[in-house]
Amino acid sequence: MSDLVDTAAGLAADSPVALLRRQREAFVRYTQGSHDVLITPADPGGLSLIERAAAALRVAAIGRDNALTAHYRALLRALGADPDALDAPDVPPRLAAILRHVTLIATAPGTVTPANLDALRIAGAGPRDIVAIAQIVAFYQVRLVAGMRALAADLHA
């Protein structure tokens, strides 16, 4: 069965790299599992599904991954949110604070300070939400998908 990595990397279910991935069953299961509990958890706690999808979209866009960007844009639309409105002046202050933090972790993780976590707390994020934001940004799919694409190109050449 295809998962998000296959889909984003353009791997058909019977392609060499998709079959290679299935030699590492735990990698596949917990990669998709991480995505599922971070992006579409049954109990999202204090971090809404829209905030989660918006954070993931920002990471995919910063990573310039077109397939993942399209995936998260579609997810946001399915949640009733406009993916083009995330940088609008009237974006809710809490979402703006989350996206500022997301951008910082994605682009310059070594510059994050305790004051950045304070800003999230002031915006109403609790410990679970703060960890979940870090996990969403840190989730390794941008580089994983890019690597699988290169491997597929090499095997199909």
Partner 1 sequence: MTRRFTLEPVDWAAWMPPVDPATATPRQRAALEASPQRDSAYFLTLAHDVDSLEQRSPLFHAVMYAPRGLPRADRELATVVVSIINGCVYCSSVHARRFAELTKQPEIIRRLYDEGLGTQLEPRQRAIVDFAARLTREPQAVAAADLQPLRAVGMDDLQIHDLIHAVAMFANANRLMQTLGEPVSG
Residues that bind partner 1 (CB under 8 A): 16-17, 20-21, 23-24, 26-27, 30-31, 33-34, 37-38, 41, 43, 45, 63-65, 104-106, 109-110, 112, 114, 116-117, 127-128, 130-132, 134-135, 137-144, 146-151, 153-155, 157
Q: How far apart are the first and last CA of the chain?
A: 24
Most distant CA atoms of the chain, gap in Å: 52
CB closer to partner 1, 80 vs 114: 114
Enumerate helices (H) and strands (E) in the chain, giving the number of each: 9, 0
**Beta carbon of residue 110, minimum distance to partner 1 (angstroms, whole number):** 4
**Beta carbon of residue 88, minimum distance to partner 1 (angstroms, whole number):** 26
- Report d(CA 69, CA 131) in Å as an integer: 22
CB closer to partner 1, 12 vs 131: 131
- Report d(CA 27, CA 109) in Å as an integer: 25
Task: Indicate the DSSP class of residue 86.
Answer: T
**At 96, phi and psi to the nearest 5?**
-60, -40
CB closer to partner 1, 42 vs 88: 42
CB closer to partner 1, 85 vs 155: 155
**Beta carbon of residue 115, minimum distance to partner 1 (angstroms, whole number):** 10
CB closer to partner 1, 64 vs 77: 64
What is the residue whose two structure tokens read 């910063």? Answer: 62
